[in-house]
Chain A
Amino acid sequence: MTISDKTSLAPLDRAAPVAASADEFTTLDALESESIHIFREVAGEFERPVILFSGGKDSTLLLHLALKAFWPAPLPFSLLHVDTGHNLPEIIKFRDEIVERHNLRLHVAKVEDYLADGRLTERPDGIRNPLQTIPLLDGITENRFDAVFGGARRDEERARAKERIFSLRNAFGQWDPKRQRPELWNLYNGRHAPGEHVRVFPLSNWTELDVWRYIARESVLLAPLYYAHEREVYERDGMWMTSGPWGGPREGETVETRMVRYRTVGDGSTTGAVLSEAVDNEAVLAEVAASRLTERGATRGDDRVSEAAMEDRKREGYF
């Protein structure tokens, strides 16, 4: 765990405040207000909430909204990162910069620790995403977190389309889609028994396009990986992978320098980049709006495993 010793409250990560107008209230304003409402409900009802922070765009947006919800007070939550050990170095650097800039508390649960002492075993395919579940659940239990914010959106996948905004998980961290609490009006029920916790998804009603529009509008500072840059990559299954300790290039795969950007950030062994010339928010927004592939379909190998890969992982306790 890292605790920064900075005491001043840092401003939000953006170029200039956006002028708020009473007359114009758009979809993005409505989504922002709803997310802020959700953050404040959790702060009012739970003892020990935590934000899952991976350094990716959704969790960066989550943090941006959380900072807005409690401004000018400091964020009343800490952050939790499950580090697979296969993260791209730029992401860890960005994570640490954000933590320092906003004077946040960061907890890190490391898959490497579990591999080192034998609690987990490396999979034959070298993919570490499935190995995150146990360190995540241990991290929640050890810190007695009772509300865990995640950046998941319902538009990402059919199983996620069924997820509640407040989603009760049992002591095993499991999601049971057949026994969900009905969620009505904007009244959220956060009651839970000791040992259980509630996953909270403030971005539930955002789409990928909403996220990018909002990031552009608010000039949210993202990890540079999201913008086109020259990178040494090799092609695998139609994705452009970065070399790293997760393996690759294999025989027959050649490393070359390409202009690429990432649409999602995850485990280095399964997340690939896309060829792109989009170097700023406007260009990325145009590219996302024109894309005929979902972000996960384009760049996440783990969702291709089976028709119900996401549902199965959620049932196990992962997001």
Chain B
Amino acid sequence: MTASNAGLAPAAPDLLRIATAGSVDDGKSTLVGRLLFDTKSVLADQIDAVTKASVDRGMDTPDLSLLVDGLRAEREQGITIDVAYRYFATPNRSFVLADTPGHVQYTRNTVSGASTAQLVILLVDARTGVVAQTRRHAAVMALLGVPRLVLAVNKIDLVDDAAEVFAQISAEFNQVTAALGYRPEQVQEIPVSALHGDNVAIRSENTPYYDGPTLIEHLETVPNTIDRTPVGLRFPVQYVIRPRTPEYLDYRGYAGLIAAGRVSVGDEIVVQPSGIRSRIAKIDTADGELQTAHTGRSVTLLLTDDVDVSRGDLIASVADAPEPAQEFSATVCWLAEKALRPGARLLLKHGTKTTQVIISSLDALFDEQNLAVSDAPESVELNQIGRISMMTAEPIAADDYQTDRESGSFLIIDPQGGNTLGAGLIGDALAPLHLSEAVAV
């Protein structure tokens, strides 16, 4: 599977966006608490607060999971309700971590957390190994094009023949990820004990059979981009900058964030959907002009011709610009309680363009139980993933999600209430699963 250069700002080598996934009681909050604690990202007053809360609950050691489960309802129920974002840093890298709840039926949260992740840490309990939920999560990661996976085999201290158990779990997981299209260098298995800190920041003496990196070492050194054929420039126009001040009377700049590719002064570009061609006259920032700018940078482009460009348009490289179209097939992860049915009239947000969309048909449903694709459903329900055909009111210039994550993704929005109903991937992201009997539960 090709996985795009992930996330909003992937080009910074000293920043890695990661997410966690795993089942309910596999110790995910403890691992996240351990990552924060061992990287000294938790300060004394926060530790004091957790120690005090742990004592109030009758525990004799600080419960590191309390560092992350912060809402009243979460503490009441002892569970994680919603995605939370954590930050930690080592001398070599900064990390933004999307901490997702463990309930696997909530694909919604996993999808939210993983949509910008360059790496996902999947947790399994060494005593139970790879379970159906692990396979499902791995399949969702493959679908979303997450470039790197780590399998943290937790509670490794609790199994007797640890070397054999770890080898067996690793082999089984490799089989799953290979079937999903991951190459071996994209996947790393690490035996850990989140509770005791083995192989998290400190190499454990209890795992002589493991000679790979600790979790932190791996996170610090793993490449955050991936070898693939890059697409050319994709620049959704966010806002037209027209100062109309005496000093900048004729200034007309197109502001946006480079979603993919790179742009240089002099490049020939095409504006979609109009198809008008022009050249880059200037790349402006508040800090001065640039000759070239890469993916992830917010810039302002000035063109050599006085052409009509506005918010919602896409400035793209001439060589491989996506053709504007109004009919698409796509994969949607449904995030709302109100089910998706054929004929629904909704809103679609792609890049900076929001347009009406009619769902023409529901073509297939992802069968989470068997990791296969089943026949056309009557509806796509909350947390289900389906393939749809749709028609947009205005033309959209989009890439296949498998080619580029940013220009291939969209939101489905309720025109009445305004809520986000679905997460969409242009193209048939489910295609690899047609070949994946090997991963079936």
Q: Would you call B132 an interface residue if the criterion is a C-beta within 8 Å of the partner chain's C-beta atoms?
A: no
Q: Would you call B292 an interface residue if the criterion is a C-beta within 8 Å of the partner chain's C-beta atoms?
A: yes
Q: Would you call A155 an interface residue if the criterion is a C-beta within 8 Å of the partner chain's C-beta atoms?
A: yes
Q: Give a binary string over B324-338; 1 marks a CB under 8 Å from any A CB, 0 the rest.
A: 000000000001000
Closest A residue by C-beta to B289: A20
Q: Judging by beta carbons under 8 Å apart, are B85 and A185 in contact? A: no
With both chains docked as a complex, state the minimum distance between the C-beta of B347 and any C-beta of chain A, in angstroms. Answer: 8
Q: Would you call B439 an interface residue if the criterion is a C-beta within 8 Å of the partner chain's C-beta atoms?
A: no
Q: Judging by beta carbons under 8 Å apart, are A178 and B83 in contact? A: no
B residues near A185, Cβ cutoff 8 Å: 8, 115-116, 405-406, 409
With both chains docked as a complex, state the minimum distance between the C-beta of A101 and any C-beta of chain B, in angstroms. Answer: 16
Q: Would you call A18 an interface residue if the criterion is a C-beta within 8 Å of the partner chain's C-beta atoms?
A: yes
Q: Judging by beta carbons under 8 Å apart, are A30 and B296 in contact? A: yes
Q: Would you call A191 an interface residue if the criterion is a C-beta within 8 Å of the partner chain's C-beta atoms?
A: yes
Q: Which of A41, A161, A204, A209 contacts B86 (CB 8 A)?
A: A161
**How many residues of B are counted as interface, with CB atoms below 8 angstroms from the partner's CB atoms?**
82
Q: Judging by beta carbons under 8 Å apart, are A192 and B12 in contact? A: no
Q: Judging by beta carbons under 8 Å apart, are A41 and B238 in contact? A: yes
Q: Would you call B1 an interface residue if the criterion is a C-beta within 8 Å of the partner chain's C-beta atoms?
A: no
B residues near A29, Cβ cutoff 8 Å: 9, 12, 297
Give the total number of A-B pairs whose CB atoms are below 8 A apart: 220
Segment at the interface with B among A53-61, A64-72, A125-133, A271-279:
A64-72
Q: Judging by beta carbons under 8 Å apart, are A32 and B43 in contact? A: no
Interface of B, helix, strand, loop or mixed by DSSP: mixed
A residues near B420, Cβ cutoff 8 Å: 181-184, 189
* Known contacts A25-B294, A25-B296, A158-B70, A186 near B45 by CB under 8 Å: no
With both chains docked as a complex, state the minimum distance between the C-beta of A189 and any C-beta of chain B, in angstroms. Answer: 5
Q: Would you call B209 an interface residue if the criterion is a C-beta within 8 Å of the partner chain's C-beta atoms?
A: no
A188 to B339, CA, bound (A): 22
A154 to B70, CA, bound (A): 12
B residues near A307, Cβ cutoff 8 Å: 49, 53, 75
Q: Judging by beta carbons under 8 Å apart, are B45 and A73 in contact? A: no
Q: Would you call A9 an interface residue if the criterion is a C-beta within 8 Å of the partner chain's C-beta atoms?
A: yes
Closest B residue by C-beta to A193: B418
Q: Judging by beta carbons under 8 Å apart, are A26 and B243 in contact? A: no
* Known contacts A30-B296, A34-B9, A162 near B248 by CB under 8 Å: no
A95 to B229, CA, bound (A): 50
Segment at the interface with B among A104-112, A135-143, A260-268, A293-301:
A293-301
* Known contacts A12-B286, A72-B245, A189-B349, A158 near B71 by CB under 8 Å: yes
Q: Would you call A252 an interface residue if the criterion is a C-beta within 8 Å of the partner chain's C-beta atoms?
A: no
Q: Judging by beta carbons under 8 Å apart, are A192 and B418 in contact? A: yes
Q: Which of B69, B84, B116, B293 contacts A186 (CB 8 A)?
A: B116
Closest A residue by C-beta to B99: A161
Q: Which of A32, A74, A155, A189 contacts B245 (CB 8 A)?
A: A74
Q: Which of A68, A158, A192, A308 contacts B68 (CB 8 A)?
A: A158
* Known contacts A20-B287, A74-B245, A184-B423, A159 near B298 by CB under 8 Å: no
A314 to B87, CA, bound (A): 21
Q: Would you call A258 an interface residue if the criterion is a C-beta within 8 Å of the partner chain's C-beta atoms?
A: no
Q: Which one of A69, A70, A191 has the highest number of Cβ atoms from chain B below 10 Å of its Cβ?
A: A191
**How many residues of A are counted as interface, with CB atoms below 8 angstroms from the partner's CB atoms?**
67
Q: Judging by beta carbons under 8 Å apart, are A157 and B70 in contact? A: yes
* Known contacts A178-B82, A297-B46, A22 near B290 by CB under 8 Å: yes
With both chains docked as a complex, state the minimum distance between the C-beta of A221 and any C-beta of chain B, in angstroms. Answer: 15
A120 to B406, CA, bound (A): 48
B residues near A155, Cβ cutoff 8 Å: 86-87
Q: Which of A17, A33, A192, A209 contacts B298 (CB 8 A)?
A: A33
With both chains docked as a complex, state the minimum distance between the C-beta of B421 and any C-beta of chain A, in angstroms. Answer: 10
Q: Judging by beta carbons under 8 Å apart, are B85 and A70 in contact? A: no
A308 to B71, CA, bound (A): 7
Q: Would you call B178 an interface residue if the criterion is a C-beta within 8 Å of the partner chain's C-beta atoms?
A: no
A residues near B349, Cβ cutoff 8 Å: 187, 189
Q: Judging by beta carbons under 8 Å apart, are B12 and A73 in contact? A: no
B residues near A70, Cβ cutoff 8 Å: 239, 241, 255
Spell out B's residues near A (CB within 8 Å).
8-9, 11-15, 43-46, 49, 53, 67-73, 75, 81-87, 89, 94, 96, 99, 108-109, 111-112, 115-116, 238-239, 241-245, 247-248, 251, 255-257, 285-288, 290-294, 296-298, 311, 335, 347, 349-352, 405-406, 409-411, 413-414, 417-420, 423
22 sample A-B contacts, Cβ–Cβ < 8 Å, listed by A number: A18-B287, A19-B288, A20-B290, A22-B294, A25-B12, A30-B15, A33-B9, A36-B298, A40-B256, A44-B238, A44-B352, A158-B70, A158-B71, A159-B70, A162-B83, A162-B84, A181-B419, A184-B116, A189-B413, A191-B413, A210-B94, A308-B70
Q: Which 9 A-B pairs have the closest CB atoms?
A: A158-B70, A297-B45, A191-B418, A30-B9, A68-B286, A71-B286, A36-B298, A73-B243, A33-B298
